[in-house]
Amino acid sequence: MDLLRTAASIKNGKTALGVELGSTRIKAVLVTHDCQTIANSSYAWENELEHGVWTYSLEQVWTGVQVCYAQIAADVQSLYHVPLQKIGSIGISAMMHGYLVFNKENQLLTPFRTWRNNITGEAADYLTDKFQFNIPQRWSIAHLYQAILNGEEHVQDIAFMTTLAGYVHWKLCGKKILGIGDASGMFPINQHYSSYDKKDLEVFGQFDKVKKLPWKIEEILPTVCKAGENAGTLTEKGARLLDTKTGMLEAGSLMAPPEGDAGTGMVGTNSVRKCTGNISVGTSAFSMNVLDRPLKTVHKDIDIVTTPEGALVAMVHTNNCSSDINAWVRLFGEFASCTGLQLTSDKLYELLFTQAVKADKDAGGIINYSYLSGENITRIDTGRPMFLRTPHSKFNLANFMLAQLYAAFVPLKIGMDILMQEEDVKTDVMIAQGGLFQTPGINQQILADTLNMPITIMDTAGAGGPWGMAVLAVFAKWRKEDESLADFLDKRVFCHSKISTLTPNPAGVAGCQQFIKSYKEGLPVEAAAGKFITDNS
């Protein structure tokens, strides 16, 4: 990258900032108006289980966002010798779904309830039946209706309900807006008019318990915007909230519609056209399959959401993926430290994942459940990470690591089978992204074997959601008139991208199928663990 040219872009505000609040890290990326990365930063955080509810404090939200911005500003000054004063456009992304509600005084009414909570089963089932549209437990409307059914006092005082991305966006620019992709995880969207489905709004409003409330559902939901639309401008108050260190950031940046992590994953993998798909793996895992036609029937394990431009997407979401792997890697790191070896996190992951190549294809009869929380796909209400083996399992490090990786991907496979086998959904390309793919080839091959389909990795796979959000911010500021998001990505962002594709290995597919058979047979044991083993914390 040309330092003088980049410095000029920074000085002239020809930049875009993408911020994504993920489940384990808050990340920020600053890019030029042609989507080249200038600087990036991150802040580690963890959700907390308080009174049986997974949550993050809003104080930590702002600590993380401010730390990330301060790191970006410091890097810009250090590397390009110009202060970061003017940003062309800003986009906020975050974990989809969940429950954030505020009263007329803009006070939070109950701690943030994240997507990870499986506490809305009664509401989700009822809404799915009445809407004839799948409403998962994670969705905001399921959280809201469950609170109504529970008789929670705060419900009377709700004036605004939003997602985490919508909340941060609101505080930065004063606009109660959501990108259509994120909004589609709050309430069903009608793609014909790109907003909340009017019929379902009416149905919800006629529920006996809802009619007694002093508000209407359409009054408390955020306004829906599509990618490329103007979603406000950074206010002076928002600039001071974002830039607490230097105080030099100017107000006036264009704000892109805030999006969910699923939407930024689609953008970051160039998977917004019909019949394309992508898989994002992290604390949770999900596949996004852009449909060329509506599904034939309602499936309890398939969410219907949208791309950032409003096209229908079949989403398979699993609550658990890499958390258990991360815990084991930390344990191995502690052991390495005890022996006097100081290994970096990246080196630890590389060493351990490399062992999986040597494993028996069925993981030697070892079974693993990576359920830190409940899992909707397999009907597990309460998570208990669990490792099982029989006296005759081949217990070694290689098989142990393969079992960990299989366990991270198998719930996604179970959900994907519904799309592929029952709905005959076809994808021309399936692109994967996430930190698990930073070790070249190994986990990509294991995912291909698990899903029994070719998996493509792009050279931008490590950039992730904040970069995808920065790209959406560029699109909002600098797109050509009538230019679609798909054309913008093809012609101006990914035209020189490098890709690698791995196809399923027949032996690996057969071995994983054997693992899946044992995995399914053992699910009652996992369910019993959640029932009988108390979390004393």
Q: Is the dihedral of CA 347, 353, 359, 364 positive or negative?
A: positive
Tokens coding 123: 């509401």
Strands (E), 389-502: 429-433, 455-458, 499-502
Q: What is the pLDDT of residue 427?
A: 84
Q: What is the pLDDT of residue 195?
A: 97
| 17 neighbors 35 (Cβ within 8 angstroms) | no
CA atoms in the 13 A half-sphere facing the CB of 331: 6
DSSP sequence for 83-140: -----SEEEEEE----BEEE-TT--B-SPPBPTT----HHHHHHHHHHHTS---TTSH
pLDDT band, residue 62 (cuts 50/70/90)? very high
Pairing of strands 48-50, 100-102: unpaired
Does residue 386 lie in a domain region?
Answer: yes
> Mean pLDDT for the chain?
94
Tokens coding 507: 């032996």
Does residue 491 lie in a domain region?
Answer: no
Q: What is the pLDDT of residue 461?
A: 55
pLDDT band, residue 38 (cuts 50/70/90)? very high
Specify the DSSP element, H or E, that contains 48. strand 48-50
Q: What is the pLDDT of residue 65?
A: 98
* Contacts for 76 with CB less than 8 Å, ≥ 6 apart: 10, 30, 38, 39, 82, 83, 84
pLDDT band, residue 463 (cuts 50/70/90)? low
Over residues 166-182, the mean pLDDT reads: 98
Specify the DSSP element, H or E, that contains 42. strand 37-44
Whole-number Cα distances in Å, 321 to 1, 11, 44, 309, 531: 35, 41, 18, 28, 21
**Amino acid occupying residue 357:** V
498 compared with 249, residue with greater pLDDT: 249
CA atoms in the 13 A half-sphere facing the CB of 49: 13
| 191 neighbors 311 (Cβ within 8 angstroms) | yes
Residue 101 has pLDDT above 80, yes or no: yes
Q: What is the pLDDT of residue 228?
A: 96
Q: What is the pLDDT of residue 537?
A: 65
Compute φ and ψ for 5, nearest 5 degrees.
-65, -40
Tokens coding 349: 């992951």
Q: How far apart are CA 125 and CA 108, in angstroms?
A: 27
Q: What is the pLDDT of residue 207?
A: 98
| 139 neighbors 97 (Cβ within 8 angstroms) | yes
- By C-alpha distance, which of 415, 194, 425 is closest to 310? 194
Q: How many structural domains comprise the chain?
A: 1
pLDDT band, residue 84 (cuts 50/70/90)? very high
Does residue 115 lie in a domain region?
Answer: no
pLDDT in tens, 268-322: 999 999 999 999 888 888 899 999 999 999 998 899 999 999 999 999 989 899 9
Q: Is the dihedral of CA 367, 372, 373, 375 positive or negative?
A: negative
Residue 1 has pLDDT above 70, yes or no: no
Q: How far apart are CA 321 and CA 411, in angstroms?
A: 9
Does residue 11 lie in a domain region?
Answer: no
Strands (E), 231-311: 254-255, 259-260, 276-281, 285-290, 303-306
Q: What is the pLDDT of residue 462?
A: 57
Q: Is the dihedral of CA 355, 359, 361, 366 positive or negative?
A: negative
Residue 428 has pLDDT above 90, yes or no: no
Residue 132 has pLDDT above 60, yes or no: yes
Q: How far apart are CA 400 and CA 193, in angstroms?
A: 50
Residue 351 has pLDDT above 60, yes or no: yes
Quote the DSSP letter at residue 258.
P
Residue 158 has pLDDT above 70, yes or no: yes
Over residues 403-407, the mean pLDDT reads: 97
| 134 neighbors 303 (Cβ within 8 angstroms) | yes
Specify the residue for token string 């955020």.
222
Tokens coding 522: 């053992």
Residue 436 has pLDDT above 90, yes or no: no
388 compared with 496, residue with greater pLDDT: 388
Over residues 430-434, the mean pLDDT reads: 88
Percent of the chain with pLDDT over 90: 84
Find residue 285's DSSP bridge partners: 281, 318
Q: What is the pLDDT of residue 536?
A: 78
Compute φ and ψ for 189, nearest 5 degrees.
-105, 140
Does residue 375 lie in a domain region?
Answer: yes
Tokens coding 225: 């915007």
Compute φ and ψ for 26, nearest 5 degrees.
-100, 130
Lowest mean pLDDT among 152-156, 310-314, 335-339, 425-429: 425-429
Residue 464 has pLDDT above 80, yes or no: no
Share of the chain residues as helix, strand and coil, in percent rounded to the nearest 5: 40, 20, 40
Residue 51 has pLDDT above 90, yes or no: no
Q: What is the pLDDT of residue 439?
A: 78
Does residue 521 lie in a domain region?
Answer: yes
* Contacts for 327 with CB less than 8 Å, ≥ 6 apart: 385
pLDDT band, residue 521 (cuts 50/70/90)? very high
Strands (E), 403-476: 429-433, 455-458
Tokens coding 121: 């089963």
pLDDT in tens, 236-268: 999 999 999 999 999 999 999 999 999 998 999
Over residues 34-39, the mean pLDDT reads: 94
Structural domain containing residue 379: 323-414+506-532
Residue 505 has pLDDT above 60, yes or no: yes
Whole-number Cα distances in Å, 150 to 50, 119, 214: 18, 11, 17
Does residue 244 lie in a domain region?
Answer: no
Q: What is the pLDDT of residue 453?
A: 93
Q: What is the pLDDT of residue 184?
A: 97
Whole-number Cα distances in Å, 342 to 81, 330, 331, 488: 35, 12, 13, 45
pLDDT band, residue 434 (cuts 50/70/90)? confident
Over residues 392-409, the mean pLDDT reads: 97
Whole-number Cα distances in Å, 404 to 77, 212, 362, 366: 42, 49, 12, 9
Compute φ and ψ for 341, nearest 5 degrees.
-90, 125
Residue 330 has pLDDT above 60, yes or no: yes
Tokens coding 117: 């909570």
Does residue 311 lie in a domain region?
Answer: no
